[in-house]
Amino acid sequence: MGKAKPRARQKERKQAEIKKASFFQKHGNMLFWCLFGVILLFSFWNVFRGLSIAPLFDWDESRHGVSAWEMLQSGDYLVQTYQGEVDYWNLKPPLSFWPMALGYRLFGVNALGLRFFSALSLPLCCAGAMLLIRRHSGKAAALCTGFLFALTGVQFNHLFLHGDADAVLFLFYFFALLFFYLSYAEKSVFLIGTGIFTACAFLAKAAHAGVLIVVLLLSMLILRREKSFSIIEFGLFFALPMVSPILLWCYFRWKYDGFSFLQQMLFTDIISRTTSELESNARGGTYYLKEFSRALGPLLFVLFICILVACLLILFLNKKSIKKMDKVFICVYSLMAIVPIALYSLAVTKLSWYVWPAFIGFIMLTGWLIGFLLRLHVQANSSKNQGTLEQGVLVIMGLAILLAIGVMPNRFAMQKYYDTSTIFPENCIFLDLPNDMATPSTYIALNTDGSRANLPQSWVLQGIFSGYYQAPDSNGDNGAANPLLLVHYSSASDLEAFQQAHPDYSIFANGKSYVLMSVE
């Protein structure tokens, strides 16, 4: 009987604690997964809205779109071509073209197919960030991190909104670092994932993977006291998975055209871009800082810089008291924020999208700092206070208001980047082919004076999307009895004079500076 009373009192105390617990403490896990789903859906909506109707860009997006389509036509997925010729201008391995080709297979040869996997990269990073931060810093910090990814990831040109190689490169960077952190937090075998994704980064954009390798090697050097990988672990788990796919691709490429492509990739795409100005892209030493400020807005950019500094101060001022995995996290993601900006700033040729992967470091450090501050709050108030999710929701609401005011308007500017060299639906001359028309032929581009027109990349891609463009046959001919003629004109009088000189040609479709003509 004496033992029964203490048990009854203990049971009553537990019931009283449950009654006092907040809604967030009772249902925190369920609420986390609900908010996880909401944030993930928001990331899908934010990146996919308007994706299929946004203008086509006369830059890498168009060139990549053409090359991916030609891969489908030729069946050769190892050697990219552009307008039927082997491409020695875009000196990158072929992996970045494969998602676009797959997108064409899934959704058709259109803008959605071209951009689908670029856009999908953002929700994948968003989900990966929330799952990792949840394990390391708690639910509230995870939700804040995911929300920041979902909201701000669409602010960058040449990334998730466009059919370029940079979105999948960003994705490979993200998961290479995620597995690298897990190799310290859990088992060394996670280095295999790091090696595989590093190889994918190289096979997507060649030399750009060098920045990731520098981050990884510097991290291993700085963190050697926390954990040191043996030579066998480094070789089997990291070096072998990374080097093997690269060497395999190099071998097949060498079998095709010897060292022609590989040599140009090394000397033009790596050495020349680093040491000299290419395509009038020389910039000052502060160019990348200005680009980040432009993309994110000055307020958010300064906030991220302050967060980076705060994390580094916490690391250096609390070396003994801070947890081992906090040291690893701060080291890895601080290097990811700093190294791309520092290295690319030293190069002569500069393009804004080179340093966008540094955004991974800024976002992940923000998530860590939120979790760290919430843990301090819990420790200072009560060891039993576990309502961090409740506080996290308030943090998310505050960030939503701040970022919605300072960031969201820029999202539309990113989709209209390079307006002057873009084909918009309203001035596009390409229309769907009528059912009774013959197979479309290769179109020819001329100026009204009869000289060959320099056809913008976006026109070629738009022609492919609309069904007008076909690659030339083996003789270089278009193979059609009635070719479509694309004529560029600078004034209405020029076009009228051209029509009088060529009465057999009739206008099939109009544009602002081009007309599509067919032979009667």
Q: Which of 62, 114, 112, 158 is nearest to 423 (CA)?
A: 62
- Three-state SS for 452-485 is ECCCCHHHHHHHHHHCCCCCCCCCCCCCCCCCEE
Going by their DSSP bridges, the two strands 444-447 and 484-488 should be labelled as parallel
Whether residue 267 has pLDDT greater than 70: yes
Structure confidence by residue, pLDDT tens digits, 112-168: 899 999 999 999 999 999 999 988 888 888 888 898 888 888 888 888 988 888 999
How high is the mean pLDDT of the chain?
A: 78
The predicted pLDDT at position 394 comes to 55
Whether residue 180 has pLDDT greater than 80: yes
The predicted pLDDT at position 333 comes to 95
Quote the radius of gyration of the chain (alpha carbons, Å). Answer: 27
CA distance 325 to 12: 39
Whether residue 23 has pLDDT greater than 70: no
pLDDT range class, residue 427, cuts 50, 70, 90: very low
pLDDT range class, residue 520, cuts 50, 70, 90: low
The predicted pLDDT at position 419 comes to 39
User: Could you identify the residue written with the tokens 């595989």?
Assistant: 196
pTM: 0.81
The predicted pLDDT at position 87 comes to 86
Q: What percent of the chain has pLDDT over 70?
A: 71
Listed in sequence order, the residues at least 6 apart from 295 whose beta carbon sits closer than 8 Å to its beta carbon are 155, 156, 157, 352, 410, 414
> Is 32 in contact with 140 (CB distance < 8 Å)?
no
Q: Where are the alpha helices (DSSP H) in 186-239?
A: 191-205, 209-222, 231-233
The predicted pLDDT at position 239 comes to 92
Going by their DSSP bridges, the two strands 56-57 and 505-510 should be labelled as unpaired
CA distance 490 to 501: 17
Ranges 83-97, 235-249, 270-284: which has the least confidence: 270-284
The predicted pLDDT at position 475 comes to 46
Q: Locate 501 and state its tokens.
A: 């000189």
The predicted pLDDT at position 214 comes to 94
The predicted pLDDT at position 19 comes to 52
Q: Which of 68, 76, 473 is nearest to 256 (CA)?
A: 76
CA distance 202 to 180: 17
CA distance 207 to 219: 20
